[in-house]
Structure 1
């Protein structure tokens, strides 16, 4: 058995990089900063030149304008192999790798231009990022215990850019068609994969060892077509859109023809979708898209990689080793060696993406928007070996944004998208790595400028809405909280994962009068929009645990947690004094778990052994509520809030008051 067998999973470096940056599998969630603020919608609704990347017909409504923007992309991802603790490799030794990538911030520029040639014909050009990232792990976490890695770092560097050149034609007052020639270029390199040598005297994992790693940058170029249609109905209150994008045929990565299937093939998948946009008011837009991306049709993505063996491999050596080897497709079928036409990929499935966005024109100069985007992970749990280096696991995306128009010729757009962590865990004893646990969360901050040389269609508010009451306020509240993970079944399962057989009972009888409370402060820009920040102290939670293995013992658990939050706030005045509101933002949580050993005969109330575990992080925050003005300066408020605290849904129900300044 050669050393390379111990590192077979490193082929992930060349297979998952782009997807780890993009958030709908291989694709970015939206076409530009503005679209991202509405969850990425764009098939039936788009107003800037970059929206041609979603549907070329959108440029009919853009007028003559240029757009330029930049986004800061912050992915936080990890990969752990050999988990849970004590999981051993079938080849001997224990995998202990648990590491986060050091590359966490990337810049994504964008630019575009659109102009009408006649009243019916418009053209446009856009340059947008499609995918790419730099993954730089400080340690070769696939190394076996006692075996040093071939290199101390492993990673990949990939960047992909799309350039749609578009033309759109207005068939009549209600119908438009469009087409784009989509040019594409991709840059790629892989390093630290030198352990990919032969498995042993009769089996290899790659078809070309010389063109697998450490060959510097390679470039790929290609093109495809995008076709679109939009129709307007119900006096322009309803728009329906269709779009189809062909598979973009790319030249092959010659320097890495031993990594990608089909001798370095890396085409961009075919995709298509339908969208609708509804305008119940002239300054309110609700839009939704459904898209399908055919990842599995591109062999570098869709071909299966190492999995979990069903039957033993009929070769020499221990049975545990043979089971692991059998799970690597190239072991029993040389045509599955990476680089071959049927070479191993990372087993992605096709993906359906759902997008929902809403935009409201607050005034003649301000629009606010929010969106939600969901696409189930393309990675099956039994295909994590090749997806550990760049874990493209994210599924949910929540965004907010705005556009401010200081002059008739200039628009300033900002967006924040939060992508909560989503993790996946492989079956136990998955081939050579024992077990894999991968996950990722993301933050995206974007800003763009739009120069309007000739105005297009827009959905701003009336000038009469520009002057509304606004100002600072501060308040407090008390109430009740609940934690979705503080259940006996979850506590028992968590202990079982650590090798402890136990039962638990929730017990809050000794909460010492603890009750949730909060304070907050905010600023009302006008009667519809504001920002708010605050602090929430959650209710303390308790549980009694009785363990029966590996030894009889009892313990008491006490969970204390709190959070700071920052959110955008939208309000709607139902009457002069009564309003309803919603909030969307982020929370920054802290928690402490105190474990007290209460085993009879071992400890007493004065000598009990205690263990304190602390953790912190950030998560999604959103809320719904209502308020009633008791005068010009005093308001009653009741609300429901949801905090994402380390994967748990913490709900807060509070009532209180606020003062306006």
Structure 2
């Protein structure tokens, strides 16, 4: 087992290296809709329906229920983001395309192993979210900015898990999550002065900076009857270090903690071939100052980067997911799902969120698995329907007033390979 673990460690490090290159916007705010192609094909459901070695990313109790297996995969992610400014007295009116980079590749890896009939362990390596915009025509040029404007945030999660199955009907799991974030901002000179920032010179064009921290995940999955299972999971807030190079941009001296979230789910075997599952999730964006604090604090004496200073104004969101899997033959399973998320960005915060237009609400997804002698191959596709947030008193008078409008849609193609052993 030590040789296998060494191979796994090397694979995990390789995946980690890849994550330092690629970043993307996620789908429910800046959290991914689901981890793994099987979950993604069912709109991200996985709290009560573990399906692969990445199960701990959705619920660590799932590590006890998937057996000995290895899963590897990658996602091709293509967001379309844009912004519009109207009625601005400073001359910023225009339509702005944020797609300087239009597609991203994101790898993932999972490994689980049973230590006994009751105890299992595993590790999952995946991206939980991020945000990326690149405006070659700078929306903030009229206020004194220059060059391409945008941000690039990527997140890598490494989640080792341990799960205990005291009876055949119940499993409990615990995991620790090591999170690494990388961030860069460009073209924000309009905000890089002592009147706006508590740390002028540390707002924009400072290259990439990294921050990391630890969190905890807990989970349970219980079979209430032969055809019905319930699950629940909680992930703590991950307090990462500060982005020191951007201590003048993010609240609390460059803080950008990863929000707490929790979820419940159910899985119902409607027939021997058809499984229906649903999840409900809540993400507490408002508890992280740099994400949840309003930009309006800037005009109440709180500059960017200050303790309790302005942020992106995001509010907490609830996400509902519904998916189905149909085993068409012994070797082929078909999957589909739909999901809906509440809008994280209030209309009054549209101006600053030109940098992070995570406005997506509705998704539809589908996919299939093929079981072969070489392992199981999975493909999934998800489409996030175009969503627009129209500003309401969104541009402060000090910046010339008017309204900002944010629009985004997304396409997500995912591939995976797995083997039981």
Does TM, scored on the shorter chain, surpass 0.5? yes
Which of 160, 167, 183 does residue 165 from structure 1 map onto? 160
2:197 paired residue among 171, 196, 206: 206
The answer (yes or no) to whether the contact 2:85–2:92 under 8 Å persists in 1 is no
Q: Which has the higher contact order (CA 8 A, sep 6+)?
A: 2
1:224 aligns with 215
2:180 corresponds to: 185
Map of 1:109 onto structure 2: 107
Whether 1:356 aligns to 2:316 is no
How far residue 94 of structure 1 moved from its aligned partner, in angstroms, is: 5.4
Contact 2:192 2:204 in 1 (8 A): no
Distance 1:427 1:366 in 2: 49
CA contact (8 A) 2:72 2:417 kept: yes
Task: Classify 1:51/1:212 alpha carbon distance in 2 versus 1 (closer, same or farther; 3 Å).
Answer: same
396, 403, 407: which is aligned to 1:435?
403
In 2, Cα distance between the equivalents of 1:197 and 1:285?
54
Query: Which residue does 2:119 correspond to in 1?
Result: 121
Aligned to 1:137, the other structure's residue is in SS state coil
CA-atom RMSD, angstroms? 1.7
* CA shift for structure 1 position 242: 0.7
Specify every segment of 5 or more residues in structure 1 that has no aligned partner in the other structure, as ranges: 1-17, 307-328, 454-661
Q: Call closer, same or farther: CA 1:403–1:77 in 2, change over 3 Å.
A: same
- 2:414 aligned with 1:416: no
Measure the CA separation in 1 of the matches of 2:91 and 2:41.
48
Cα deviation 1:178-222 (Å, max 9, x = unaligned): 000111000111111123244xxxx71110012111111111010
CA distance in 1, matches of 2:119, 2:418: 21
List gaps (5 residues or longer) in structure 2.
1-21
**1:34–1:413 contact (8 Å) kept in structure 2:** yes
User: d(CA) in 1 for partners of 2:319 and 2:55?
Assistant: 18
Change beyond 3 A, Cα 1:428–1:252? closer
Give the match for residue 291 of structure 1: 281
Which of 115, 140, 153 is residue 142 of structure 1 equivalent to? 140
- Report 1:341-420 matches (<5 A): 341-407=307-373, 410-420=375-385
Query: What is the deviation of 1:101?
Result: 2.0
Judge conservation of contact 1:205–1:331 (CA < 8 Å) in 2: no
Change (3 A) 1:139 1:339: same
Contact 2:192 2:201 in 1 (8 A): no
Per-residue Cα deviation, 1:432-452 (whole angstroms, up to 9, x for no partner): 251111110000011110011
Contact 1:47 1:59 in 2 (8 A): no
Distance (whole Å) between structure 2 residues aligned to residue 106 and residue 117 of structure 1: 37
Question: Which residue is equivalent to 1:61?
Answer: 65
Contact map agreement 2:60 2:163 (CA 8 A) in 1: yes
**Alignment correspondent of 2:256:** 266
- Is 2:55–2:63's contact at 8 Å kept on the other side of the alignment? yes
SS at match of 1:296: helix
Matches of 1:118 and 1:404, distance apart in 2: 29
Greater radius of gyration (CA) = 1
How many equivalent pairs are there? 397
Looking at structure 2, the residues matched to 19 and 128 of structure 1 have their Cα atoms a distance apart, in angstroms, of 12
Q: Structure 1 residue 389: deviation in Å?
A: 2.2
Structure 1 counterpart SS, 2:129: strand
Alignment partner, residue 233 of structure 1: 224
**1:378 Cα offset (Å):** 0.5
Task: Output the CA distance in 1 between the equivalents of 2:92 and 2:29.
Answer: 31
Aligned to 1:52, what secondary structure does the other structure show? helix
Q: What's 1:305 paired with?
A: 295
- 1:30-41 residue pairs with structure 2 within 5 A? 30-41=34-45
- How big is the shift at 1:141? 2.0
Offset, 1:244 = 0.8
Q: Distance between the aligned counterparts of 2:83 and 2:316, measured in 1?
A: 23
Contact kept, 8 Å, 2:247 with 2:305, in 1: the verdict is yes
The equivalences for 1:603-642 within 5 A come to: none
Residues 230, 120 of structure 1: alpha-carbon distance in 2 compared, 3 angstrom cutoff: same
TM-score (norm 1): 0.58
Match of 2:83 in 1: 79
Give the deviation of 1:428 after TM superposition. Answer: 5.3
Q: For 1:97 and 1:417, how far apart are their aligned partners in 2?
A: 27
When residues 404 and 117 of structure 1 are mapped into structure 2, their CA distance, relative to the original with a 3 A threshold, is: same
Alignment check: 8 A CA contact 1:95 1:142 kept: no
